[in-house]
Structures are given as structure tokens and as C-alpha cells.
Amino acid sequence: MARAYEFNWQKPLPAFMQEGAYFDRFEEDPFVFEPQCFFKVDEFGFFLAWKREGKEGQVLECSLVNSIRSTIPKDPKTLSSLEAMGRLENDLEGRTFCICSGPDLVNLTFTFMVGQDVKVTKQWTEGLRSLIHNFRANNVCPMTCLRKHWTRLSFLTNMNGKIPVRSITRTFASGKTQKGIFQALKDLGLPSGKNDEIDHSVFTFDKFYALTQKICPRTDIEELFKKINGGKSDYLSVDQLVCFLNENQRDPRLNEILFPFYDSKRAMQIIETYEPDDKLKRKGLMSSDGFCRHLMSDENAPVYQDRLELYQDMELPLAHYFISSSHNTYLTGRQFGGKSSVEMYRQVLLSGCRCVELDCWDGKGEDQEPIITHGKAMCTDIFFKDVIQAIKETAFVTSEYPVILSFENHCSKPQQYKLARYCEDIFGDLLQREPLDGFPMDPGRALPSPRDLKRKILLKNRRLKPEAEQNELEDFRRHMDAGEMSLFPSAEENEGELLNDGVDEAHPELKELGESFCTSKPSGGTEKESSRVGEANLDVQDLINSYHYVAATTNVHPYLSSIVNYAQAVKFLGFEVAEENNIHHNMSSFNETAGLGLLKTSAIEFVNYNKRQMSRIYPKGGRVDSSNYMPQVFWNAGCQMVALNFQTPDLSMQLNQGKFEYNGSCGYLLKPDFMRRPDRTFDPFSETPVDGVIAATCSVQVISGQFLSDKKIGTYVEVDMYGLPTDTIRKEFRTKMVMNNGLNPVYNCEPFVFRKVILPDLAVLRIAVYDDNNKLIGQRILPLDGLQAGYRHISLRNEGNKPLSLPTVFCNIVLKTYVPDGFGAIVDALSDPKRFLSITEKRVDLMKAMGIEECDIVDMLSDSSKGDKKRKVSQAKASVSPRASSELGNNSTSGQPAGPSAVGDAVFLVHQVTVEDLKQMKVRRSPGGTPVRHVKYKFRRVESQSALSLVAQLVNDWRDGTVFEIHPNTFSQM
């Protein structure tokens, strides 16, 4: 029996947060102060709500909160404003915390709360921290989303503490007139006047759900319901439900033993859970309402929810994982004239990113503090030490797995020493200073795993040769012990002492600007840091034209060098040199154009390089607007750190965030097997199935949308696939435009068929909704690896991958094993042998009725298969050796004839096999060079799904020139 489904998305909610407490609330910019607000959290942990006496209720969605900080404001203006309100700075200490929230990583709101005493403040600080970063709650079902919206309406009360009718009408205004909404309220016995208000005790969730069904009935689900029962009754029987679940809601590629079929017992459990009518429950019947509730439940999520947990093996070398990575992390906007912010490091790390970039330069002024900025690009500065402190506070809040700091080091030696000391002093034990005992940094030794480096911070920087590093470090320590100023050799003297000199990791943004730069004024804002805009009176374009690119320094301080280990930056000298050196802890960075060039000329070598050591890709310099390149092409090559501009929520970032949502949002994703094993060869531009990987067919029918917008606008849906180049299909599948209905448009389009996805492990599906001005309303990225087949509601996200409360798209997703043209009959027979036999037996009976004896009927292949096979066999008959034919005859099952078609050809008699058996099959080449694959097995019915996968693989091999034949008696014994 199919197992009952459980999705525990709720986090434990402390009772005191449901009961509520009084806090003063204020914001800094602009200054807003609200004393004595009553705060509480709903029972599901959806919202932090507050209300002040005589004011309207307000809410903050917990999914938009990214951090809770124990801090007090430092802005003098804010402090003086608070003092004017009777709140002195000394009174705020220990009683104040800050809630940081926002729809993306840049547009943030900071809300301060001041508690009655230190104890209450501490309680609420810890309680709120336990609620946020609930990534599972971002994947709740449509029914839970409706409950969430009902909760929001219940909190958004008027001054009398009641729910205004006009708040409810706004929910449905995008598709219905106010008159229709008022009538629906009246039919349910609720106040229905424009200026009426509804009491909490009356406006229950059941009433709200009934209201949604009245105003926007699910006619699409009603049609499906009638299709299942044939339109003959108002109910589904247990048998009809079982048939629907097995034929539509179950992936046919699943193993029947590990994933059993639905049966009557499981169907009755579903009826018991979702059917609201007790009389129908007792009769074993399901109404259309119960069926709708089931389709809107967690049991019908579009992805396997266990993929949201940490489910992958985290004990393999670092190079075997994709790692969520950020480029120029400090920037909040454009690359030229942009603003740098310490806050970006917090936001990026809290979003799950595991590799951030620090462009380090010498500071100015008396303190000579190292700074982070985009050098010579008119960007503002931030202090290096402030960034390190922010990284320490947020590095392991959402993920315990290692963080890599990618240094672009432009500092002089004295300031490099400061960099190293800040890392040591602030990070403390979090910094991985030395190699682990079991993972020495020797040639041929693999990198440690993410689990080995849990809660550790690695520095990516150049490193001196061991002998030079030791000598310089000893010399430096002697100078320090003597109390003298350390004397450092020049860059030219030290250049040859690097492990691999001439590394060029700085970004030549301004070399590549040319005509693409817009001559807008640079941002002049700072974050308590000094601006590097020294030549403000010069024309911006003159500055760009006079810019000379400054590469990262090759003059490394020995102390900084000594704390670099598993991420040593080296100049890339070619794949052959890297393979010969076989140093796994060496890594190189490539801008996107260099990376694409390597893919063009040496794609397979690039994949093999990434099996052994790490690579980092970053945007080309011409992207001054902080746009992003397409990351998929580099993931296809196994590049681990595909660094993007996180401040730009474009398509590339949506693909990145959607992909890394899997595996517990930990920032690490295990690469497919063939991208890790040295004995496997993989071409990222392959157009034929990868050995051992079963290609798939994916079909998506967009049926309808729900609550897509709060405006009466036209909408349409695009469905794209991203993966290997041959799997990528974009801007090709689009529904019709449904005008003037943002509430419940019905598309009912023909299925969009992605007929051949040769590498499902790397493919992702993107479903995006646009309005009639081609503006994005919402989108969702669904990795094909965890996609569920069947009728599914797909909840949408905003551009920044934050969940939208109500918008969903209802689709029918069909997933199958890919079968080339002409082989459908064979696969159909294997997947449903009983049906195949019933058809053939019926034909025999009909021929008997015509006086034909059964002994005169010989088993033959169908004409289409026979014609295809003749073409293949004619090319290879001469290539099959007599020994091969005799082997096949000798190894046949006892008493089983080889059949007339076995002469001269490779014959496949198939026993019970699994996909693992398939992977182990040997391929040898005949003297003529044609690969001949021998399989001496016969299928049994219990393994029909494995049989299906095997035949699909054999058929794909046939396309590549493999010769085989399936014996007719294969089917008769199933």
C-alpha cells in the first residue's frame, strides 16, 4: 500500500508568543515611534502582528524576516528623537532588538522593539529567532496558503478590532465585481455592506473557504472530477479514486516495491481525511469538494518534500559539490559608482550562500584600516573588520557547512598582516588555520568533505611556496619579537616565490566598459565609511577612459599565506598541467568569457578538472549594471562556484536560488555520479543519453491560475526548461492571454512536451506568469530531479524567490521514460504485459474463428519495428562474430529456443534485472567496430519498471549503433 504522506513544516511555537506582550516600536528612516503596541504571533507562526489602542492592526510576514538582532540604534538623530519621547539611551540597553525584513536582499526594513524588561525582551528575541528561516514553510500547500491569508485578514482589523468588509473584497477584486462579492457574503450569512465590519468569532476559516468557492469556484477541478467518474454521478467511488491516483498522480518510473501502488485501503484513508461529508465517508465516496481539498493538500505538492531536507551525502570531497557563490558581495547595485554595504554580507550568507567575495584595499587616513571596495570604480568603502564581524555573526545561522572567503587582495604587506590578524582574532576557532589531520595538502590527496569542515571558514588566496613561506615567516617573527618594523621585499623580488605566480583574479570591469557604460552620476551614499570618489569634479566618462586596471597583488604576506589551505588560488596554466600536478587544493577563477572559451575548446577536460579540484566563475567586466550570466552552462561542466550578483534578482539568480533550495538550503548540492567519478566521461554538450542515465520525457499542461494578481489584468504563463544545451527549451511554450482576470484565469492549453530530456539530474523547469505588459507576476523553479507527476498546484515566488501568499498555477505534469520513435509498442508491452497479452490472445481467437489453426501462427515483430531493425541489422550482420552467436545460443535459458531471428544477430533474452545490472553490462566491439551488448536475462512481471528502464537504455544504445534483438518469447513468459 502507498504510504500516507506527512509534511511537518511547522516549528514549535512558544506559548508566550501566542499570548502576546507589549512593546514600544520604532523605525529609523523615516523615524516612526509607536508606544505600547500589543504584539503576538499566530498559532502557525505565519505572522508577527501588532495593534495599538485605537489604531488599525498591522502584520509582518515571518517568511520575509531574515534576522533578529540584539542591538540599539546608533544614529544620533534616532537617539535624540527617542529621548524626546522619554526613552533614554541607557534604558534601551538589553531591552531592544531589531527585526530585519524585506522582499529581497537589498530593499530592507529595520523595525526596533523595546520590551518592558530585559527578561521579556530576551524571551521574544530567542522565540522569534526560532521561527524564522523556516524553509519548509515556504513550500506549504494551497489550502495552507488560504489559511495563511485568512489569518492575515483576521489580524488586519480596524480601530474597533473587527475585520472590515472592504479588506475582504480586495482579495477578490481582480476578477469579480464588488456586487458579486457582497452577494456571496450575504449568502453565507455574513455582513455584506461596503462599510460593514465582521467579528472574529463569525469569520471562521470554514466560512472564508466557502466564500472563496462561491466567488471563484474551481470549475477546472470539477471538469476533471467528471472526467474521472464519467459524468455519471456526483461522487467518486474508491475504485475510481484508486485508478486516478495510480494512473495520474504516480510517477510510472518509480519502483513498484519501494513505491507501492495505491490500493483501496489507502484510498479510504484519503477519503477519511479530505471528505467533509460524514455520510459520504461512511459509504466510501468522495465529493467534488473533498476531491478539491485533496488536490490542494500537502499530499499533492509539486516536488518531493523530502528533497527540502538535508538528504544528500555530505562526506565526499568539496570538489564534488555545487557551492552557492556570490560575486562582489559588498555591492548593493551597479558595479561602477555603486554603494558598498556590510549588510549585504549578512543577507547573502543568511540566504544560504557559502562563498562570498572580499575585494581588499589599503585604507586611508591615520588608522590605515583595510577597506573593501570595487577599486578605482567610484564605489563607496566599508571597513574589512566590519565585514569579518558580520560574517562571523551570520555564517552558520542557516547552514552549518563551510564558508569560503574569496579574497581579491590588493593590499600592501603591512595591511595584509592586518587582514590575517582580523580573521584570526574575530573568527577564532571558526577559522580553518591548518590542514586537517586526515587531509594533508599533498599531490593526489582529495579535499576534505563539507561535513569534515562543518562550521569552518576557509580563506581563498594565493600562497607562497612552502620553503619561501617558512623563511619569510621566521624572518617576520624575528622582526616582531625584536619590536622592529618589518621590512618587506618588493613585489618584483617576491613574485617568483608564489606557488603559481601571476594570478589574475581581479575583475577588469572598467577595461571592458567601452560604450556600454551609462554616464549617470555615481552614488554618493556611505555606510559610516569614507567615499573613494576623490575626483568628483572630473567628468565620469573621463575617469573611465583614464582608468588603468590594477590586478590583485602577487606580493603575499607570509602570515596571511600561512592560514590559506584548501582553497589556494593559482594561475590556470592548462588542463594538462593541472592533471599532471594533481594538486586538489589548487583552484582557479575564470570570468564568464574565459570559462565559455574553455567550454568551447575543452569541455570534457573542464569536467574532468572539476572532478578533482575547484573552479570559480564570475561575471565579465562589461556587466556594470550587475546583470548575471546564465549559470546553467557552467553547472553542466561541474564548476563548483558559479558566482553571481546576488543583488540582482534576475532569471539567473532565480535559477540559482531555486536550485539551492534543495538539500536543506545548506548551500551545497552533490554533483551527479558521472561528474564525480574519474572512470566516467561526460560531455556537457552531449546530445545522446549519458551511459547509465535514463532520459526522460516531461509534459506540462497549464490548466488555470488562482489569485495571480489583485488587479483586473491579462495574464499568460510561460514554461521553460533549463539543463544541458540539448535539454534547454526557452521562450517556446506559452499559454494564451486571458484578459481582465487576475483572480482565476483558465488557460486549458495543450500540453507543452519536453520530449527528450537526456539528463534530468541537471534540468530544471521554470513556470512564470506575466501580465499583459509582459511584467513578471510570479515564478517558480522546479528541479526535474524531484518533480512529482500528476495534477499539482504550483505556488509562485517573487523575483527574489520569496513566497507569494496566494498565487498558484494548476498544472498536469506527466513524467515518462524517454522512448525513441518506433519503440513505443515494445515499451508498452513491458510496462503492461497483461494488456499486451490480452490483445494478442484476442486476435488469435478471432483468427481461430476464421478456421486458422493456432500452430500456423508464428510470433513476429511488428512491421514498424521490423523495418527499423532491418536497417540496423543490415549494417552490422557482418560485424557479429560466429563466436558471439554461439555464446548466445549456449547461454540461452534451458529449453528456450533461440528463435529464427537469432541467426547472425545479437539476441537479448532478458531475465529479472535492475538498473544497476544495466550499469554493469560489458560492451565489447566486434572486428568491424560495431558495439555489441550481450544481455542474457528475461523479465519477470514484478520488475516491469526496471525492464522499462532497461529497454529504454537499449533503445538509446541502438540509436548509437549498438546491435540487439529482443526475442519474441520474452513477452510470453512475463
Residue 327 appears among annotated catalytic residues: yes
Sequence-distant (≥ 6) Cβ neighbours of residue 263 within 8 angstroms: 1, 2, 242
Could you give phi then psi for residue 152, rounded to 5 degrees? Answer: -60, -45
DSSP letters along 660-695, please?
TTSGGG-SEEEPPGGGT-TT----TT--SPPTT---
Candidates 320, 327, 410, 585; catalytic one = 327
**CA atoms of 25 and 38, how far apart (whole Å):** 10
The CA-based angle 307-311-316, given to 5 degrees, is 135
C-alpha cell at 489: 621585499
**CA atoms of 151 and 153, how far apart (whole Å):** 5
C-alpha cell at 478: 624575528
Candidates 374, 507, 557, 793; catalytic one = 374
Residue 551, burial from CB neighbour count under 10 angstroms (0-12, 13-18, 19+)? middle
**CA atoms of 808 and 796, how far apart (whole Å):** 6
Closest CA to 375 of 420, 332, 408, 412: 408
Report whether 888 contacts 907 (CB < 8 A). Answer: yes
Closest CA to 191 of 156, 165, 159, 152: 165
Report whether 128 contacts 68 (CB < 8 A). Answer: yes
**CA atoms of 765 and 782, how far apart (whole Å):** 5
Hey, which residues does 766 pair with through a beta bridge? 720, 781
CA dihedral 485, 489, 494, 495 (to 10 degrees): 110
What is the rounded end-to-end Cα distance, in angstroms, of the chain? 23
**CA atoms of 768 and 719, how far apart (whole Å):** 7
Alpha helices in 360-424 (DSSP H): 384-394, 413-422
Report whether 704 contacts 748 (CB < 8 A). Answer: yes
Q: Break the chain down into helix, strand, coil percent, rounded to 5.
A: 35, 20, 45
Work out the angle between the directed axes of helices 205-215 and 178-187 (0-180°, nearest 10).
Answer: 130
Residue 109, burial from CB neighbour count under 10 angstroms (0-12, 13-18, 19+)? middle
Cα 681 → chain centroid: 26
Sequence-distant (≥ 6) Cβ neighbours of residue 313 within 8 angstroms: 670
Hey, which residues does 406 pair with through a beta bridge? 357, 460
Per DSSP, 963 falls in state B
**CA atoms of 121 and 48, how far apart (whole Å):** 15
Closest CA to 131 of 42, 19, 220: 42
Work out the angle between the directed axes of helices 413-422 and 384-394 (0-180°, nearest 10).
Answer: 20
C-alpha cell at 867: 523495418
Tell me the CA distances in angstroms from 289 to 219, 221, 292, 448, one per residue in order. 11, 9, 5, 54
Determine how β-strand 32-41 pairs with β-strand 21-27: antiparallel
Q: Which positions are catalytic?
A: 327, 374
